[in-house]
Amino acid sequence: KEEKEKEKKEEGKKEDKDKLALQQKPVYPESPKQSAARRLFAETEGKKIIGRSVVKKKPPVGENSVDAAGAARGQKGLVFASRAAPSLSALSMRSALQSKTNVGPPRNVTFPKNDDEIEKLVKDPNNHLRDAIIECEGKCLYVSSSILSARASFFARAYHGVHWEKNMEKLVINGCSFEDLTALVVSMYSTKLPVLKPSNAMRMLRLGVRFRFDYLINHCMHYCDPAKGNMTEKLLLEALKASEELKLVKLQKHCIQLIVGNNMYDKVKDADVFEQLSDDYKILILEKHFVATRATKKDLKKEPAE
């Protein structure tokens, strides 16, 4: 019986210790950045904080002081390092660290407001947002990898994928002009998409598909909608080729709708681009054209003669 009672008492003590351990909050050691930020903030306030030791502080004077009651009683307050700056927050600690080490944007820097300012920003090698470089045609853009990764999955894989090398300084992009790439990057920084014209619509569409920028792809598709009236004959031929190479079903539908609706089959079939299309695509266009012509002939027969 005595042995059983001793075992019960020992088990009870273990349970009490476990409960106390769960109730107590874990204390994590400070990281080097946190300790450096805390030291820098203390230096700006005219104080010196070493480790987590207690710092003696003179009692405050005045009605608006933190410890006015203690000052009235003549007591010397002992303030811990965490209370040395009652308004200290994570943001102020980070800004203090950045101002000392020149890392990150300073406080007085604002984000560019229009596309011209964004273009100047990405071409400036000393801009405060840059952490990556894109090279095209021997020229460089100094960009933020986080902004580009959030907008296009190509850059997310390039900068944060498994095969990304942190010591890689430049991402070289070939097969496009520097002006088109700049317009693409500016549209990723801005909330506005690039202005499309018949001369650049297919180039921007190819860039959108290449870099997997869905907003730009949808923007180009909306521009090529026959209902908008933006498609010219030259743009239609370019769209036929792009829809075949990029395998864009929606763009194929727009092209077929425009060819059939405006009776442009005779013009399109004589073009060099039409010969480069696959046989399935040619047959599909011919079938749609044949069905449309038969329907128009039936409608003409049904009309009463005058």
Question: Of 99, 130, 147, which one is at a domain's C-terminal end?
Answer: 99
CATH of the domain at 169: 3.30.710.10
Question: Of 99, 127, 155, which one is at a domain's C-terminal end?
Answer: 99
Local confidence pLDDT in tens for the 306 residues of the chain? 888 888 888 888 877 777 766 666 555 566 777 777 777 666 655 444 444 444 444 544 444 444 444 444 444 433 333 333 333 344 444 444 444 444 444 445 566 778 888 889 899 998 888 888 999 999 999 998 888 988 888 888 888 876 555 555 688 999 999 999 999 999 998 878 888 998 899 999 999 999 999 889 999 999 988 888 888 888 888 898 898 888 888 898 888 888 888 888 888 888 888 888 888 888 888 888 888 887 766 665 565 554
Please report whether residue 218 resides in a domain: no
Q: 158 with 91, same domain? A: no
Would you say the pTM of this structure is higher than 0.85? Answer: no
Residue-range definition of the domain harbouring residue 61: 29-99
Please report whether residue 108 resides in a domain: no
Please report whether residue 207 resides in a domain: no
Whole-number Å distance between alpha carbons of 191 and 115: 10
The whole-number pLDDT of residue 191 equals: 76
Please report whether residue 9 resides in a domain: no
For residues 150-184, one letter each, b for 16 or more C-beta atoms within 10 angstroms of the residue's C-beta and e for the rest, the string is ebbebbbebbeeeeeeeeeeebebeebebebbbbb
Question: Of 175, 195, 215, which one is at a domain's C-terminal end?
Answer: 195
Q: What is the β-pairing status of strands 139-143 and 132-136?
A: antiparallel
Q: 118 with 178, same domain? A: yes
Q: CA 276, 278, 280, 284: dihedral to nearest 10 degrees?
A: -30
* Domains held by the chain: number: 3
Please report whether residue 1 resides in a domain: no
Q: 236 with 170, same domain? A: no
Amino acid at 49: I
